[in-house]
Every structure is written in structure tokens, then in C-alpha cells.
Amino acid sequence: MAESDVKVVLVPGAWADGSSWSKVINGLQTKAISTVTVPVPLTTLTDDIAAVDRTLERVDGPVVLVGHAYAGAVIGAVRNPRIKALVYVAALAPDEGETVADVFYQNEPHPKAPKLGPDQHGLIWLPQEAFGAAFAQNASAQELAVLAAVQRPISPACISVPVGRPLWKDVPSWYLLAEQDHMIVAETQRFMSERMKAQVSVHPVDHTPSVTAPDRVVDLILQAVREVRD
């Protein structure tokens, strides 16, 4: 199987959109790897899983499915036999019967983590100042401006529903552990990645390395692509 035959599907997490993967997409394109992002609605976990399924209908061949942050729960809940590997980027990985909130709040939050709660419409937005303090503190001012401008709110319905048997129990998984993460503390990431028996890559990066350390993310995805190819 040629490396280019393996497709990479990228799923953004809460408060982000497909543009958060732009540097990773460029890096994968230099390796001739076809890549698409999933426009998740962030309305319910079921809706987000369905959005991944619709995207997979547009993609042929074996897939490496990649999720950032909240999207770790989404990629673990997809059931498509063409998914041959999962890559978690500072991502949440609830086990069967757990909710996203269960693992997100497992440990004490970082002192710079924002206080989150729904607005009058029942949507959770990331406070403006949190982008530079916790979401991507290593980003440039220009990158932070874009992240804040395109942010998409998440519904509590995404994080309060227990998940079924996660796919990481059935396919090989990789995990980028972000040591400088102010949103999901490294201790929580370490617990999840070890429980998954994932191949872990630890880096001194923030919560959104797809923006601030894209080469690290590309390298990890390529490891998964090569294993699927071989």
C-alpha cells in the first residue's frame, strides 16, 4: 500500500474550526497525503459523530482519524471499518460509560484555565482572554486573533453523555501529550494515554500544537500513516 493511499481525516475540538489544522494540512501535503477536516457542529456528541461519518463517505481507502481536545471523544465513538488508526492531539479519551466532562474534570484545573459555563442560549464560549492564557499561549498575536475570530461554541450536550465502547480499544492509537497544556492538564493526558495503551509522544507544547507546533503533530500522524501503510 502506498503511503498516499492512506487518507487523514482531522477533527477540530471545541472552540476551533478546520482552519486550526491548516499548518498540519500543509505539512501532510508535502508528503503527498490526502487530508480533509470535519465540520463538526458541536451541538451534541451524536451530531458530531454523524458529521465524521458524512465526511468518511467522501473519502476512499484506509483512514487515520485525528482528533484534538474534545474531538478525542468523537473519534473514539465513530464506527467505520476503514478507520485503521487513531491519533489524539492533547485530546480527551473517555472510556465506556464515562462522559467528556468526567475525564476533563478528573484533576485540578491549571491555574490559568478559564471558568466555563453556558450563556443564555445554552452554549459554552471560550472567553477572549483564554485564547492567549490557556488555549494557545505559545501562538503569535496574529494566530491568536484568528483563533478568537473563528471560535465556535460547544453545547453541554456534547460533554454530558456517556460514551460506548471506544474505538481505541480495537485499533492502534497514538497520543501527543502536551506538557504545557493549560486546558487539559498533562496529568490527565498521561492517565488517558496510558489507559489507552497508546504510543505516546510527549512534547513541551500548549493545548493547540496544530497551530503552535505543527511539525510535532505532522510527525505523529506520519507514524500512524506508515503503520497503516505497512
pLDDT, tens digit only, all 230 positions of the chain: 444 599 999 999 999 999 999 999 999 999 999 999 999 999 999 999 999 999 999 999 999 999 999 999 999 999 999 999 999 999 999 999 999 999 998 888 899 999 999 999 999 999 999 999 999 999 999 999 999 999 999 999 999 999 999 999 999 999 999 999 999 999 999 999 999 999 999 999 999 999 999 999 999 999 999 999 98
Cα separation of 170 and 30, whole Å? 30
Prediction pTM value: 0.96
Measured CA angle at 37 (ends 140, 48), to 5 deg: 110
Q: Which of 100, 83, 66 is nearest to 174 (CA)?
A: 66
Domain boundaries defined on the chain: 3-229
The whole-angstrom separation of Cα 132 and Cα 150 is 15
3-229 architecture in CATH? 3-Layer(aba) Sandwich (3.40)
Rounded to 10 degrees, the C-alpha dihedral 14/92/88/68 comes to 10
Q: Give exposure, 41-75, as e/b (b: 16+ Cβ within 10 Å).
A: ebebbeebbebbeebbeebeebbbbbbbbbbbbbb
CA–CA separation, 99 and 164 (whole Å) = 10
